[in-house]
DNA sequence: CGTGTTTTTGAGCCGTGTCAACGATAGTGG
DNA sequence: CCACTATCGTTGACACGGCTCAAAAACACG
């Protein structure tokens, strides 16, 4: 599959795209690159002249605190563009890095803007992507806030499972091989790794969802999981054929 | 002051705007409206055909949970546009409401898009606004997450103080009359009102910042406040003349 | 086989939530 | 002007969720 099709495939989970816009995306010059696990791609304070999208692996945006604590603010799977914002907000106010070994593709801001000049609707599609990104942030505020550890963890699992599903990352049996350590999940939820582990045990023992050292996430009872999480997928704004 | 100038004033804290774009904003048809405290402006699930900006008062976006708990995901002061995203993401995935009596102005999506068609840079300015909105979300994730109650509260106060300052909302003596109840602050921080109250007492007793029943926020020691919060204003992306 | 990483568990502590009451303040109507 | 009410802020006592420290178990990899 040509690299740019990955981007198109992802965008089409959220919007219908005209043939013309698909062609423009397909023609976008992209530069593939491998990154190692834990390698930073764009550091806080820098001013990148390009954005990236994920071909394979997982990227995260995070802030670091004194003492080495991390707050992960987003996770990005295949087809997503984690730093589109750098197009119009020059200076990075957080760091983008790989949490697993990953394949990414670089797209120059210049080329993106040129494509937007050719098609207004294309610009709108990319704008919309950044808005959907923000919708996820809003949920994560709640995950880290009023929803306690159990609901927050369940919510994150719901979300990632659906996001993995719509870009075809599930295994044949409907399980998902979670490419994240429990530490990485804990960093996203503002929990200690110990408490996350116990929370996963709760979910396992209540026959809701199984996630353990095998990293195979198996949804035992989707309805119960959704209820535990208070998960309402509206905020993912999936087009009909990708609804859950 | 003409209503649209409020928008221009706010935008200019974040970017330099050409005369042409200023003129386009000035010509935007806007419809003023009063809203009562606690009145909802755009409810979750609806599909508005307009956005709003704040003339006076405070708006909030929030989600409601079973049991009446609320998670506030953003607060909006004079000049801000809390629901620009509805331009390209039709369905509201949260509710926008007034937390104080407020004056707002309605702007039709149609008119905005028409203006964007006349000037590409104008569209970019609005896009950028939504990106800055998202930058604040990222900080709030940390406020509700890894930063504990003390740092989170201090961080929110830093942020709101600066945001109030750049649009000229401070009192002559440099204090800020916080237009929010402690419950509303607690909802934004994912804290109980009791604990927020105690946290404010801590900040008061450590001579960092005074905020009590008078609702007058007085920064006693800005450096100490910034340090307590771990506040780095980069994420507000203020242009030079508005730096703190 | 040995080393490093990740997961899991236990024990105990501390931060934050809950419940309840009181105090302050502002607004309202008699 | 006062009494009444509603809302908000403040404090205390206590419970509990989540954190820290520490160590063992499971696993991945050279």
CA of B36 to C1' of D17 (A): 37
pLDDT at A67: 83
Residue A176 has pLDDT above 90, yes or no: yes
Q: What is the pTM of this model?
A: 0.97
- What is the count of residue pairs from A and B with beta carbons less than 8 Å apart? 130
Nearest nucleotide to B199 by CA–C1' distance? C16
Q: Distance between CA B123 and CA B114 in Å, rounded?
A: 10
Residue nearest to nucleotide C8 (CA to C1'): A197
pLDDT at position B102, please? 96
Contact B134 A133 (CB under 8 A): yes
Residue percentage of chain B with pLDDT more than 70: 100
Whole-number Å distance between alpha carbons of B115 and B123: 8
A198/C9 CA-to-C1' distance in Å:
9
Show the beta-strand stretches assigned E in chain A. Answer: 30-35, 40-42, 50-56, 59-64, 70-76, 95-98, 102-108, 176-177, 209-210, 216-219
Q: Which A-chain residues 49-68 have CB contacts (< 8 A) with chain B?
A: 61, 63, 65-66
Sign of the alpha-carbon torsion through A12, A17, A23, A29: negative
At B131-186, the pLDDT tens digits run: 999 999 999 999 999 999 999 999 999 999 999 999 999 999 999 999 999 999 99
Q: What percent of chain A has pLDDT over 90?
A: 96
- pLDDT tens-place string over residues B73-93: 999 999 999 999 999 999 999
Q: Encode pLDDT of A5-32 as tens digits.
A: 999 999 999 999 999 999 999 999 999 9
Nearest CA in chain B to A46: B234
Q: What is the percentage of chain A residues whose pLDDT exceeds 70?
A: 100
Residue B153 near residue B203, CB atoms below 8 Å: yes
**Nucleotide with C1' nearest the B195 CA:** C16
Asked if the Cβ–Cβ distance from A128 to B237 is below 8 Å, we say no
How far are the Cα atoms of B6, B56, B103 from residue B53, in angstroms, in the given order? 9, 9, 9
Helix (H) or strand (E) holding B124: helix B120-144
**How many other C-beta atoms are found inside a 10 Å radius of the C-beta of residue B166?**
24
Q: Which of residues 195-214 of A touch strand C (CB under 7 A)?
A: 197-198, 200-201, 212-213
The residues with which B98 forms a beta bridge, in sequence order, are B59
């Amino acid at each position: 599959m040509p690299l740019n099709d990955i981007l198109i495939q992802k965008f089409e989970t959220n919007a219908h795209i005209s043939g013309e816009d698909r062609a423009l995306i397909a023609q976008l010059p992209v530069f593939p690159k491998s990154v190692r696990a834990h390698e930073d791609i764009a550091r806080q304070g820098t001013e990148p002249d390009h954005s990236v999208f994920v071909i394979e692996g997982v990227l995260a945006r995070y802030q670091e605190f004194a003492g080495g604590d991390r707050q992960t603010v987003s996770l990005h799977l295949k087809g997503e563009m984690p730093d589109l914002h750098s197009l119009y907000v020059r200076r990075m106010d957080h760091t983008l890095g790989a949490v697993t070994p990953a394949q990414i593709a670089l797209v120059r801001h210049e080329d993106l803007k040129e494509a937007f000049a050719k098609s207004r609707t294309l610009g709108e599609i990319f704008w919309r992507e950044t808005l959907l990104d923000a919708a996820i942030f809003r949920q994560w505020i709640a995950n880290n806030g009023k929803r306690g550890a159990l609901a927050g963890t369940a919510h994150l699992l719901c979300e990632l499972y659906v996001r993995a599903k719509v870009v075809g990352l599930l295994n044949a049996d409907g399980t998902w091989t979670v490419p994240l350590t429990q530490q990485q999940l804990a960093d996203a939820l503002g929990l200690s790794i110990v408490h996350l582990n116990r929370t996963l045990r709760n979910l396992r023992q209540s026959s809701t969802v199984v996630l353990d050292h095998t990293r195979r996430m198996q949804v035992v009872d989707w309805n119960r999981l959704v209820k535990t999480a208070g998960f309402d997928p509206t905020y993912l704004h999936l087009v009909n054929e990708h609804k859950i």
